[in-house]
Amino acid sequence: MDDRVIITCAVNGVITDPRQHAVPVTPAEMAAEARRAFAAGASVMHIHLRQQGEGKGHLPSWDPALSREVCAAIRAACPGVIINHTTGTVGPDIAGPLACLAASRPEIAACNAGSLNYLKLKADGQWAWPPMLFDNPVSKIAAYLAAMREHAIRPEFECFDTGIIRSVGMFHDSGMVARPLMYNFVMGVASGMPTDTALLPILKKLALAGNPFAVTAIGRAEIWPLHRACAEMGGNLRSGLEDTFYLPNGAKAASNGVLIEALAGLARAAGRIIAGPDEARTMLGIFKERVA
């Protein structure tokens, strides 16, 4: 097992409402939050774009100029940082995400590797939102992978269930993508894999051997034992205001910085060494630093 661990900060996500939670929206806010996470040990920033303007920050954006501006601001604030750009969108129209990838050319981009009924129930048995299908057919995945090859972007495969992990292996075997593969096991979505540490050995076994994996853990107190187990198994780590608002002691996190501090402390307690940006680039095979 490599003692070094790469930490990703999921800076803002797209579901949480900035009118209710302190998620960054503007390029300046995102750069400031990224800087806090960077100082705490995160070498990778996973970003979503929000619409700009009063009262619009809860809405997603696929404005390529905004993508370029956000990436430039984060890179200026965090020298050497690796950008991981979202591509997740519902429906067949992916022109917006593709335009953002071409405009900002992040080192990494999320590639949602399979479809999922995205569901959540409230305590009263009512749907938290109208049931929806997060559709990621092979044709859509192939289009993303082609764009990522064109722009020298490394895909990170977001895996919401066990069959999706197995599908990534088939994408490789069919020639859709080359090694090294980056697996991200997404755990804690109510209709996906639960935050259960007993699952981790199974998930790692289902992934093609010799490729890096990480865990996205969504929830509250239950996520921290999962992060610890991932660190002990040699996985990379991710947290941030997209995934949780709560520290291990149950207190609400005021920023991404304190979440990454907690994650880095947990990694060190598991005997891992926090990889800096240059080390992370070497570990992931990303050798050329992007410019703003």
Q: What is the pLDDT of residues 28-74, one digit of tens each?
A: 999 999 999 999 999 999 999 999 999 999 999 999 999 999 999 99
291 within a domain of the structure (yes/no): no
In this prediction, residue 292 has a pLDDT band, given cuts at 50, 70 and 90, of low
Alpha carbon distance 10, 66 (integer Å): 18
- Among 278, 279, 219, 263, smallest CA distance to 245 is for 219
228 within a domain of the structure (yes/no): yes
Give this prediction's pTM: 0.96
What is the residue range of 269's domain? Answer: 4-284
206 within a domain of the structure (yes/no): yes
The contacts of residue 57 (CB under 8 Å, 6+ apart) are: 17, 18, 19, 25, 50, 51
145 within a domain of the structure (yes/no): yes
The contacts of residue 222 (CB under 8 Å, 6+ apart) are: 188, 195
Q: What is the pLDDT of residue 1?
A: 61
Q: List the beta bridge partners of residue 257.
A: none
The contacts of residue 100 (CB under 8 Å, 6+ apart) are: 49, 62, 63, 64, 67, 85, 87
84 within a domain of the structure (yes/no): yes
290 within a domain of the structure (yes/no): no
**Alpha helices for 41-179 (secondary structure H):** 64-77, 95-104, 138-150, 162-173
Taking all residues of the chain, what is their mean pLDDT, rounded to a whole number? 96
Report long-range pairs for 189-192 (Cβ below 8 Å, ≥24 apart): 189/116, 189/118, 189/160, 189/218, 190/119, 190/120, 190/121, 191/116, 191/117, 191/118, 191/119, 191/120, 192/116, 192/160, 192/161
Is residue 274 within 8 Å of residue 266, measured between CB atoms? no
292 within a domain of the structure (yes/no): no
Total count of domains within the chain: 1
Mean pLDDT of 219-234: 97
- Among 180, 172, 203, 144, smallest CA distance to 286 is for 180
169 within a domain of the structure (yes/no): yes
The H-or-E segment that residue 238 falls in is: strand 236-239
What single DSSP character describes residue 15?
Answer: S
Which CATH number is 64's domain given? Answer: 3.20.20.70
Q: In a 10 Å sphere around its CB, with 0-12 CB exposed, 13-18 middle and 19+ buried, how is residue 255 labelled?
A: middle
Mean pLDDT of 265-288: 94
Q: What is the pLDDT of residue 25?
A: 97
Q: Give per-residue pLDDT as tens, 136-191.
A: 999 999 999 999 999 999 999 999 999 999 999 999 999 999 999 999 999 999 99
Q: Is the peptide bond before 277 cis (omega within 30 degrees of 0)?
A: no
Q: What is the pLDDT of residue 2?
A: 74
CA dihedral of 37, 40, 45, 46, whole degrees rounded to 10: -70
Report long-range pairs for 247-254 (Cβ below 8 Å, ≥24 apart): 248/221, 248/224, 250/220, 250/221, 254/22
Alpha carbon distance 231, 210 (integer Å): 16
